[in-house]
Amino acid sequence: MSNNAYTDLLALIGIGGAHPGGLELTKTTLLKENLEDKKLLEIGCGTGQTSLFLHAMNIDITPIDNHPLMIEKANHRFAEHQAGITALQMDIEKTEFKDRTFDFILSESVLSFTDTNKTIPELFRLLKDEGVLLAFEMTKKGTMHRELEDRMKQFYNMPRIFSNKEWKEALEQHGFKKVEVSPFSLGELEPSEPEINPSEVIEDTYFEVMHQHEKLTYESQEHVELTIIRAQR
């Protein structure tokens, strides 16, 4: 088990669309964007569910993830659908792409798990002028108390849990403009059953990780919301 057991758990279960609202919310949001002839990067692509959807729309999509098992499952999905795309194992805090490579970057429940002082400047570097970052993030409300926040940061290996205001400030600080922050209370979102692609062998210790995750989800549900962040270079 690595130092991020929760991420390992997601990879072993093969969760697709882990954020509230799932793939349907992602689709609805992406379809509002003009993606024709755009070059897209999906960071933290997971098992490739969203990337395959974008590929089916004839979008030029490059999926990356830092977890080797996620990459394996994503590429298996792409091969099954004869998609002709390949997920690359890469750290979003420092990628191997050239400056201003992409028109659009998609991030679903990824940035909060990174060092944003490294990730946000890297995303800014990768975007072309006027390029767009679209991110789905869990954000904290003012009602979240410190003890719960500390437990969540420790369990999920998150350096920080941002409020909506803090996300806007962080992005603007690193050069992004036209930062739009759209929060949704969890009760507003249609319940969704995430797709799973479980590994054949999952150690018993990970079921305790799942139990801890479910407990924290229950405790925090009144104090967090899902926020869609759209920012322009």
Domains of the chain: 5-232 (3.40.50.150)
pLDDT: which is higher, 116 or 193: 116
- Mean pLDDT computed over 12-27: 82
Tens of pLDDT, residues 20-37: 778 889 999 999 999 999
Over residues 44-52, mean pLDDT: 95
Which of the four pLDDT bands, split at 50, 70 and 90, describes residue 92?
Answer: very high
For residues 166 and 196, the model is more confident at 166
Ordered DSSP codes for the chain: --S-HHHHHHHHHT-BS-STTHHHHHHHHHTTS--TT-EEEEES-TTSHHHHHHHHTT-EEEEEES-HHHHHHHHHHHHHTT-----EE--TTS-SPPTT-EEEEEEES-GGGS-HHHHHHHHHHHEEEEEEEEEEEEEE-TT--HHHHHHHHHHHT-S----HHHHHHHHHHTT-EEEEEEEEEGGGSPP---B----S---THHHHHHHHHHHHHHHHTTTEEEEEEEEE-
pLDDT > 90: what percent of the chain?
Answer: 81
pLDDT for position 191: 64
Q: What value does the mean pLDDT take over residues 182-207?
A: 82
